[in-house]
Amino acid sequence: MKITVLTLFPEMFEGFLNTSIIKRAIDKESVEIELVNFRDFTLDKHNHVDDTPCGGGQGMVIACQSVVDALESVKTENSYTIVMSPRGRTYNQKVAHEFSKHEHIIILCGHYEGFDERIMKYVDEEISIGDFILTGGELGAMVVSDSIIRLINGVIRNESHEDESFENGLLEYPQYTRPIDFRGDIVPEVLLSGHHENIRKWRLEKSLELTLERRPDLLENRSFSEEERKILEKLKK
């Protein structure tokens, strides 16, 4: 898989690309990350990529020419192009799985007061990572890239993410490790029992309990097994 990021600040990605799982995925050639500075494509003699907004207003707007030329230089028939935008579809694990199936993802990062609207004709989708404003799209691009890369076969073991939050529509159950007794706070006995079925049931109940308490919205349109339904009825009582 290939991910291309169009940005004015490629240096922001140095730590992201050279640390932990992302670096290992790149080294194993599970993913290729390409950083493109669209300022390199400007035809403006002063290297400007932005201009004042038509109709007046604060700030500067990124103009079409450099962005579209940069995009066309990397785009192929297999590319899927997204732009980080607060008005886009809200990003979640389901969308991460969708994007992980593409051969080539292009992520366009904005700055200042955003993009000239005509640029949107050249992208496939706008994506938002939440209802807040950042100084630019780079942090959002890292979030999207990280969530996609870890789903690529061979980057991490499948078992490592199958039980994670949102993978099955629920928040993940609590995790513990040694020491068993930390300042009198003891690991739940069931996790030390070696009884795999009882551990599975405990984890399912805790996942449902946490989701009901903290993210009840996740339960609204979810289909439940008979076992899950009985646990929820008990929890609600």
Q: In this predicted model, what pLDDT tens digit does every residue of 133-146 receive, in sequence order?
A: 899 999 999 999 99
* 27-45: pLDDT as tens digits: 999 999 999 999 999 999 9
Query: How many DSSP H helices and E strands does the chain contain?
Result: 8, 9
In this structure, are 106 and 198 located in the same domain?
no
CA 21 → CA 16, 56, 159, 217, distances in Å? 10, 45, 16, 31
CATH number, domain at 172?
A: 1.10.1270.20
Q: Are 39 and 49 in contact (CB under 8 A)?
A: yes
Quote the distance between the C-alpha of residue 102 and its chain's center: 15
The DSSP string of 182-203 is: ETTEEPPGGGGS--HHHHHHHH
Q: Which residue carries 């980057």 as its tokens?
A: 155
Instruction: Look at residue 221 and tell me whether its pLDDT is greater than 70.
Output: yes
Report d(CA 106, CA 4) in Å as an integer: 5
Q: In the structure, what pLDDT confidence band is assigned to residue 160 with cuts at 50, 70 and 90?
A: low
In this structure, are 7 and 112 located in the same domain?
yes
Give 56's DSSP letter. -
In this structure, are 180 and 145 located in the same domain?
no
pTM of the full structure: 0.89
* 85-112: pLDDT as tens digits: 999 999 999 999 999 999 999 999 998 8
Domain count, the chain: 2
Range of the domain at 104: 2-158
**Mean pLDDT of all residues belonging to the chain:** 94
